[in-house]
């Protein structure tokens, strides 16, 4: 690994379908506005319930992106 410098952004992705889809939604949205995304870490997972049924999955991510020289 070279000597890179990273910034970290915390985001929450959501999905009605799955945890994986919530992660992909968050990364897709971030990659549309931030260059040099290199990694992510799942910080927490949770969901929203309505009348005892799962309605949304929510995943908090820390996303690392490389600063350009």
| pLDDT computed for residue 68 by the predictor | 80
51: left (phi over 0), alpha (psi -120 to 50) or beta: left
| pLDDT computed for residue 4 by the predictor | 84
| pLDDT computed for residue 1 by the predictor | 53
pLDDT tens digits, the chain, 69 residues: what are they? Answer: 568 899 999 999 999 999 999 999 999 999 999 999 999 999 999 999 999 999 999 999 999 999 886
pTM over 0.75: yes
- What is the homologous superfamily of the domain 6-66 according to CATH? Flavin-binding protein dodecin (3.30.1660.10)
36: left (phi over 0), alpha (psi -120 to 50) or beta: left
């Amino acid at each position: 690994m070279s000597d890179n410098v990273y910034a970290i952004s915390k985001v929450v992705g959501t999905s009605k379908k799955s945890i994986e889809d919530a992660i992909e939604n968050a990364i897709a949205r971030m990659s549309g506005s931030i260059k040099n995304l290199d990694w992510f870490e799942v910080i927490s997972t949770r969901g929203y319930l309505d009348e005892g049924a799962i309605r949304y999955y929510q995943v908090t991510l820390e996303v690392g992106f490389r600063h350009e020289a």
